[in-house]
């Protein structure tokens, strides 16, 4: 007797094998996504969770990553990491500042300078292509403790100067060029931390303290930020 054929049931969804990325991880990463991951790495370096060599390796991976699936594993072992769609704690911005925005300086066959009394943002992107960029922080107002400067120099020159009583860290790669960060540890535990990362391709990047320049109102800045945070 012929057996009645039973309709075939669709196979149950198998669990995703280890090492296979979530389809959402195939989404293309934006510059803002890369900056977010770079900020987490900058925090980790400033806090001593990773050393400069590992920081440089991870930063290199950040700016080579093309998808979210490639980005997020870079900081998965760090406490500041957040899921890609989870809202981060909102920072406090001063007058005229834009939430989530990074300052950007570009010099293409030209020169760009930032100096004098100005409010430093959390992130600054400096891009020099056959040009020159000068970033002078010696008279700047630090609105937060950690400032990250991402530098790209292609046949160009970027110079960064900081006060002698801040902490200066960073790492980068010089490809047929020079990338030099003169590290500095501020004596005050609340001193601003400036982290410089990036690349120099047939170019020059220098970050160093400027002799005789100090953040003279460091304690006042710290107290003002604390009062602002507490809402007093």
Q: 163-194, pLDDT tens digit by residue?
A: 988 899 988 889 999 999 999 887 777 788 99
Considering the domain architecture, whether residues 169 and 212 belong to the same structural domain is answered as yes
79: containing domain: 26-83
Considering the domain architecture, whether residues 60 and 115 belong to the same structural domain is answered as no
Distance CA 27, CA 44 (A): 25
Considering the domain architecture, whether residues 75 and 118 belong to the same structural domain is answered as no
Percent of the chain whose predicted confidence (pLDDT) is above 70:
69
Instruction: Tell me if 102 is assigned to some domain.
Output: no
66, 83, 100 - which closes a domain: 83
* Residue-wise pLDDT tens digits, 39-71: 787 777 767 788 767 876 887 788 788 898 998
pLDDT, averaged across the chain = 76
Does pLDDT of 23 surpass 60? no
Considering the domain architecture, whether residues 224 and 153 belong to the same structural domain is answered as yes
Considering the domain architecture, whether residues 115 and 179 belong to the same structural domain is answered as yes
53, burial (CB in 10 Å: exposed 0-12, middle 13-18, buried 19+): exposed
Distance CA 146, CA 161 (A): 16
* Residue-wise pLDDT tens digits, 84-119: 434 434 344 333 344 445 788 999 999 999 999 888
Strands 178-181 and 141-142: unpaired
Distance CA 10, CA 54 (A): 47
**Which residue, among 35, 202, 34, has the nearest Cα to 128 in the 3D structure?**
202
Distance CA 68, CA 38 (A): 13
What sign for the dihedral angle of Cα 113, 214, 165, 75?
A: negative
Considering the domain architecture, whether residues 137 and 182 belong to the same structural domain is answered as yes
**What pLDDT, on the 0 to 100 scale, is given for residue 79?**
83
Considering the domain architecture, whether residues 66 and 158 belong to the same structural domain is answered as no
Q: How many CB atoms lie within 10 A of CB 58?
A: 21
Q: What is the DSSP letter of 169?
A: E
């Amino acid at each position: 007797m012929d057996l009645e054929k039973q309709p075939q049931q669709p196979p149950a969804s198998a669990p995703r094998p280890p090492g296979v990325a979530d389809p959402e991880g195939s989404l293309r990463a934006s510059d803002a996504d890369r900056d977010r991951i770079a900020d987490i790495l900058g925090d980790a370096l400033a806090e001593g969770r990773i050393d400069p060599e590992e920081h440089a390796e991870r930063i290199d991976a950040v700016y080579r990553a093309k998808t979210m699936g490639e980005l997020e594993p870079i900081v998965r072992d760090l406490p500041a990491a957040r899921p890609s769609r989870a809202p981060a704690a909102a920072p406090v911005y001063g007058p005229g500042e834009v939430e989530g925005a990074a300052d950007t300086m570009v010099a293409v066959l030209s020169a760009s300078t930032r100096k004098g009394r100005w409010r430093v943002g959390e992130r600054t992107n400096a891009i020099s292509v056959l040009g020159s960029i000068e970033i002078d922080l010696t008279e700047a107002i630090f609105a937060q403790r950690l400032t990250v400067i991402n530098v790209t120099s292609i046949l160009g020159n970027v110079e960064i100067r900081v006060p002698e009583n801040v902490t200066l860290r960073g790492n980068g790669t010089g490809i047929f060029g020079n990338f030099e960060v003169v590290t500095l540890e501020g004596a005050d535990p609340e001193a601003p931390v400036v982290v410089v990362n990036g690349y120099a391709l047939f170019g020059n990047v220098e970050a160093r303290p400027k002799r005789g320049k100090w953040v003279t109102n460091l304690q006042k800045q710290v107290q003002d930020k604390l009062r602002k945070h507490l809402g007093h």
